[in-house]
Amino acid sequence: MTHVRIRPFNTRDTYPEQDIDNDLCQAVVAGDTIYLRGQIGQDLDTAANVGVGDVTAQTEQAMANIAMLLGEAGAAVDDIVKVTVYLVDPRYREPVYRVIGRWLKGVHPVSTGLVVSALARPEWLVEVDVIAVRQRAS
């Protein structure tokens, strides 16, 4: 089985201010399982930050990115089985989970939430990481 790598990039382009050189991608499809890179408030096509200072706007962008990447992988948000949410402040929990809950209404994935001291850039307030499994037609 060959893994499909969606939207490959190198960290030297993504983080030019840092001295790192790693080949990564936004999603890996391994069989029917899709692993997404943690998504933040950043437009995937332009790399522009969205919602600086606004955790709700950043979560909306992260979820829109997730839906778009899953679509590129031949899946949908209904296929999400695991969600991990990283917050830089526990007070963000309610607004973030309200947005995620709206996007995942009726999906019922398992979920883990963590509060971390920081994300890769100081303007990022939330990161959402998902695993999905494409459903086969019956």
Domains of the chain plus CATH, in order, are: 4-133 (3.30.1330.40)
pLDDT given for residue 20 in this prediction: 86
Q: Which two tokens stand for residue 25?
A: 């991608």
* pLDDT surpassing 60 at residue 138: no
Do the beta carbons of residue 111 and residue 84 sit within 8 Å?
yes
**Gap between the Cα atoms of 1 and 32, Å rounded:** 11
For the stretch 13-53, pLDDT in tens is: 877 777 888 888 899 999 999 999 999 999 999 989 999 99
* Closest to 111 measured CA to CA, from 86, 133, 76: 86
**Mean pLDDT in residue range 118-124:** 94
The tokens 């949410």 sit on which residue? 85
Instruction: Give the global pTM.
Output: 0.93
